[in-house]
Amino acid sequence: MSAPLRLGIAGLGTVGIGVVKIIQNHAELLSARSGRPVQITAICARDRQKNRDADLSDYAWEDCARDLARRDDVDVFVELIGGDEGIAREAIEIALDSGKDVVTANKALLAIHGQALAERAERQGRSLRFEAAVAGGIPVIKTLTESLAGNRISRVMGVMNGTCNYILTRMQSAGLPYEAVFEEARQLGYLEADPTLDVGGIDASHKLAILSAIAFGTQPAFDAVEIEGIERVSIDDINRAADMGYRIKLLGVAQMTARGLEQRMSPCLVPADSPLGQLEGGTNMVVIEGDSVGQIVLRGAGAGEGPTASAVMSDVIEIARGVRLPVFGQPAETLSKAHPARTAVPAAYYMRLTLADKPGALAKIASVLGDAGISIDRMRQYGHAEDTAPVLIVTHKTTPDAIDHAIEALPRTGVITGEPVELRIEEV
């Protein structure tokens, strides 16, 4: 049996402790599968005194992740601190420069600085692996990088923030408004310390940018993702969309088009009976379409101790086995600079308008849509007591530009009250 693979773990939160437990509980299994024992030599976290649900007494303690990254008795630096700047980034750079392989769950860091880190790792001949950074326990990085390496990928999409999916499905099942369910999610501890990362779509966009890079051979381009969070999704829209056979999901979609790379994260309607439509609670789903494989759907826990630690360990085992791959599936120097394109792929749209209930109001709306080149597929007016009428429209396929044009023109009809709502209906 070869020499043990020695880990230094920086960050002992939920995921870090999950990794410690797997290593302690599955020593034989890990050793058999890796061809060598997998051991922890040193650990580091902010607070040494904190009561943790694991026996850490056998491991050397470091107060600073940078010192952990420099240790001679560490082969693999496991970064579970988080954050796109500061200590996590510095410690990873030190680890790579001192000849260590790195495993991280840090999606923000990879989405923003992935190219520089990949170049650094490959220059040093080291591995930088990050299965846990996208969709928790779902093996999506490995699937894209290895299992689907023979495909030209046409589209990657998914629900990759469990907190948002929890909020949206709970709003529907309990009939509660966004604010009430947001508060529930906070009390249940589902929200990130900065909740905007979740509900603002940022966390999910970090993940989408990473998947795009692997799928399309481009440098990660988080700042080119068109992002809209779930804050403006109302219980009204969730209910109306359900009436029309749809669910609302915070959906990330990346596709390479003739105009460039489209990456968008936004609340979208998907058919209620599709796999994405049926995704409940905090679960994640990633859908990948390749020219040979067709469509594949991956579903599983996107967060939590066990699932995320499972993903970290898959990277550790690959390193122990001696598997060394380019960080984003092809050498970093061959990744092209992404040419971002604003979404132009046509789609059907859902529109909710509140109309003055008076003669000719509907005709004025229809005329604005017609002038924008938008054709109506279905329309429904709901019962109402006041002098305004809620109207729902599902359009035939049209372009985002045409929808923007119509949304701008609608208030000028003088028959609309409130803001018109429009949501894309994604073909899945």
The catalytic residues are: 207
What's the closest the beta carbon of residue 157 comes to ligand HSE, in angstroms? Answer: 16
What's the closest the beta carbon of residue 192 comes to ligand HSE, in angstroms? Answer: 5
Asked if 206 and 218 count as a contact pair (C-beta separation under 8 A), the reply is: no
What's the closest the beta carbon of residue 231 comes to ligand HSE, in angstroms? Answer: 15
- The 132-171 contact track toward ligand HSE, x by CB under 6 A, reads -----------------------------xxx--------
Binding of residue 82 to ligand HSE (CB under 6 A): no
The per-residue DSSP string of 336-380 comes to: BPP-B----S-BEEEEEEEEE-STTHHHHHHHHHHHTTPPEEEEE
CB atoms within 10 A of CB 99: 11
198, 237, 422, 426: residue in contact with ligand HSE (rule CB under 6 A): 198
Per DSSP, the three-state class of 398 is strand
CA-based max dimension of the chain = 84
Asked if 357 and 147 count as a contact pair (C-beta separation under 8 A), the reply is: no
What's the closest the beta carbon of residue 203 comes to ligand HSE, in angstroms? Answer: 5
10 Å CB burial of residue 286 (0-12, 13-18, 19+) is buried
Count the residues of the shown chain that bind ligand HSE, applying the rule CB under 6 A: 8
What one-letter code names the amino acid at 43?
Answer: I
Q: Which is nearer to ligand HSE, 37 or 82 (CB)?
A: 82
What's the closest the beta carbon of residue 79 comes to ligand HSE, in angstroms? Answer: 15
Rounded-to-integer distance, Cα 187 and Cα 185, Å: 5
Per DSSP, 164 falls in state H
What's the closest the beta carbon of residue 255 comes to ligand HSE, in angstroms? Answer: 22
Q: Which is nearer to ligand HSE, 79 or 203 (CB)?
A: 203
Asked if 142 and 323 count as a contact pair (C-beta separation under 8 A), the reply is: no
Q: Sign of the C-alpha dihedral, residues 295, 199, 241, 361? A: negative
Q: Which is nearer to ligand HSE, 10 or 105 (CB)?
A: 105
75, 93, 131, 203: residue in contact with ligand HSE (rule CB under 6 A): 203
| Binding residues for ligand HSE restricted to 208-237, rule: CB under 6 A | none
Q: At what angle do helices 162-174 and 178-187 cross, to 10 degrees?
A: 130
Q: Which is nearer to ligand HSE, 195 or 275 (CB)?
A: 195
What one-letter code names the amino acid at 410?
Answer: L
- The 297-316 contact track toward ligand HSE, x by CB under 6 A, reads -----xx-------------
Task: Point out the residue whose Cβ comes nearest to ligand HSE.
Answer: 163
Would you tell me which residues interact with ligand HSE (CB under 6 A)? 161-163, 192, 198, 203, 302-303
